[in-house]
Amino acid sequence: MTALLEVVGVTKAFGPIKAVDNLSISVGGNEFFALLGPSGCGKTTLLRMIAGFEKPDQGRIMLDGIDITDQKANRRPINLMFQSYALFPHMTVAGNVAYGLEMEGMRGADLKRRVDEALALVQLSSLSGRKPAQLSGGQKQRVALARALVKRPKLLLLDEPLGALDKKLREQMQIELKRLQQETGIAFLVVTHDQEEALTMADRIALLRQGRIAQLGEPRTLYERPDNRFVADFIGQMNFFDGQRAVNGFEVPGLGVFDAANLSDVAAGTAAALAVRPERVVVSETEHGGNLQAEVEGLAYLGQDLILHLRIAGQAKPLVARLPAANPLTTHIARGAKVWCGWSAAHSLILSE
Amino acid sequence: MVVSRRIVLTGPGIIWILALLVIPCALLLVNSFFERGIYGGIDYILTSENYVRAIDPLYAQIFWSSARVALITTLVSLVLGYPAAYCIALMPKRRQLAYLILVMLPLWSNYLIRTYAWMVLLNSEGLINKTLLGLGVIDAPLPLLYNDFAIIVGLTYAYVPFMILALFSSISKLGPELREASTDLGASSLMTFWRVTLPLTLPGVAAGSVFVFVLSVGNFVTPDLLGGGKRTMLGNLIYDQFLTARDWPFGSAIAAIVIGIMMLLLTVQAILVNRRDREGTAA
């Protein structure tokens, strides 16, 4: 895969705070790439530098092998879909979509054809004469998308594209965005704070923390093999047991010595945490393979899953377990029940900060 | 309970407006349909003669020339005020206040004194002519005072702050995102201004323009002092009818016409603002 966008060692500071700190990423020509992170991690600043609204203090930004660091925003073959959509309120839907093409000097039949195509792509042809104030949130989002896509940019930037939509619509649009990306063949770079959104849509994710990359990889890698505690905690839910690498395994005070998938990579004496996903915790009413005794302290019924908070003697925090509805245990387990729990060593990791 | 509280809270304001605005205007309107008494005063005989007289070429000409001066003042204020308002609206919030205070500062001093100051500046022995003569730019003093130019300078100076304030509130409501969206879609700064910023701030332009126009057309101090009394504007005409000619009904008729035009302009402007607000919910 040849890189379409290359961000090389980019730094941007606002006052004493480095919003983006010597960061490098590269995005492929047909890739759906997500910049994920908590608010203030620098993801929006990075996006604005790629769009051309902020200038990096250091580093270069290359598009298709051409240095665009000093190119003006209106000259870059990149379009941005704004978080608030930023639709022009005095123009119709068609007027909004046509605007970018008019700036290229396109007029008449060509213009109309391209606008119609773009509106058809987002299924808004019937609303072309409306003003933005007459549209629902989801419709506005589609107009913003059509307006950005109609120019056929090499790269489309999306700033929290689904943030303003309600949950049902968001899930629907996640699939929709993925379809559009594959149909148009345009590279998408999405900024989001929603890990689920990133996992669902992206081919690759860069998880940012304080202006640096915490981990970059495919969704499955980030979820299953997080590099550190921050990544494991940010993406999905995770149980942590603080402890130390001993000679024969990882020792959690008061709980015992454990094996883990990456035990051999961790040097003896390292203070770290043993991490287990809730859905990997095995719970049973009898002692078989499970080795930790616990008491059910709380339950949360989610329909497809049942969340258990398990109190293990001597542990400050309860162990969270997630049982699928198909597990026979879920039909009768109650608060106060005594259970046995455990996990397979292959499903646990030793993670440092 | 709610009703009585409403009356208590709005009562003083309503009484004020009734006593000092509605009733005087109504009296003005009523008087404009009566005949002038022989020794001033009013003879209560119904007539439309005053309005017929008002459109007599002699007076119609004053309407036009007043409108012309007010219109030029409005345009000059707009051209001067828009860039200033735009710059202030784009500043960081904490600096905006300081600049807005600077804009309003002249309004805190007496209007007459400010007008006299312009006489000092503009007269043939004044600062501007002396400087230009001294520098050898001109051989004879420029006729800066006692003409339409002086009136327009004086009115613009007096009313440009209102224009800036009206434009500022309109531009600062806009926020940077729409401009950025326009840039992102390939527009130059000039194109962004022409296609996005200006159309969306038209209500501010209308508000500021109506304000300046209405204030200018009714002003009589500036035409008197800076125009040297040579240029009769509507304000002067009304003033003269009431205090010199002592023709109250005719003065009332002219005043009623001016009020009518102003209300028409304000209504148009209110409709514009209303339309913008409905569209604005989209932003």
CA distance B155 to B151: 6
Looking at beta carbons, which residues of chain A come within 8 Å of B187? 74, 99, 103
- Residue B1: pLDDT band with limits 50, 70, 90: low
Scanning A98-137 for CB atoms below 8 A from B yields 99-100, 103-104, 131-133, 135
* Structural domains of chain A in order of their starting residue, each with its CATH number: 3-224 (3.40.50.300), 240-351 (2.40.50.140)
B183 in reach of chain A (CB within 8 A): yes
B279 in reach of chain A (CB within 8 A): yes
Give the model's pLDDT for residue A270.
Answer: 87
B270 membership: H or E segment, kind and range: helix B248-280
Mutual angle of helices A93-103 and A137-149, in 10-degree steps: 20
- Residue B279: pLDDT band with limits 50, 70, 90: low
Residue contact A74–B178, C-beta within 8 A: no
CA distance B275 to A178: 38
User: Cα(first)–Cα(last) distance of chain A, in Å?
Assistant: 32
Structure tokens at A80: 């941005």
B187 in reach of chain A (CB within 8 A): yes
Give the model's pLDDT for residue B277.
Answer: 63
Is the pLDDT at B84 greater than 50, yes or no?
yes
Is the pLDDT at B214 greater than 50, yes or no?
yes
Q: Report the residue from B177, B186, B199 with minimal CB separation from A103.
A: B186
Region label for A22, one of left (φ > 0), alpha (ψ between -120 and 50) or beta (otherwise): left
Q: What is the mean pLDDT of chain B?
A: 89
Calculate how close chain B gets to A141, using CA atoms only, in Å. Answer: 12
Contact B204, B167 (CB under 8 A): yes
Contact A241, A320 (CB under 8 A): no
CA distance A89 to B202: 13
Q: What is the dihedral of CA B162, B165, B171, B174, to 10 degrees?
A: -130
Is the pLDDT at B281 greater than 70, yes or no?
no
* Structural domains of chain B in order of their starting residue, each with its CATH number: 52-280 (1.10.3720.10)
Tell how strand A187-192 and strand A155-159 pair up.
parallel
Residues β-bridged to residue A324: A305
- Residue B194 CA: distances (Å) to CA of A99, A132, B79, B200, B235: 13, 20, 15, 10, 36
Phi, psi of A75 (to 5 degrees): -105, -5
Give the model's pLDDT for residue B17.
Answer: 94
Residue contact B184–A79, C-beta within 8 A: yes
Give the model's pLDDT for residue B268.
Answer: 86
pLDDT along chain A (353 residues), means of 10: 87 92 93 93 94 95 94 94 93 96 94 94 92 92 94 94 83 88 92 91 94 95 94 94 91 90 88 94 81 90 92 90 90 90 92 88
User: A128 CB contacts (<8 Å, ≥6 apart)?
Assistant: A92, A93, A94, A97, A115, A116, A119
Looking at beta carbons, which residues of chain B come within 8 Å of A79? 184-185
Structure tokens at A14: 């606002």
Tokens 């009431």 locate to B242
Give the model's pLDDT for residue B283.
Answer: 36
Contact A195, A36 (CB under 8 A): yes
Return the residue of B nearest to A135 by Cα.
B282
The tens digit of pLDDT for each residue in B138-156 reads: 888 888 888 889 999 999 9
CA distance B229 to B213: 20
CA distance A213 to B44: 89
The tens digit of pLDDT for each residue in B12-59 reads: 999 999 999 999 999 999 999 998 887 777 888 888 888 988 888 888
3-state helix vs strand vs coil in chain B, percent to 5: 75, 5, 20
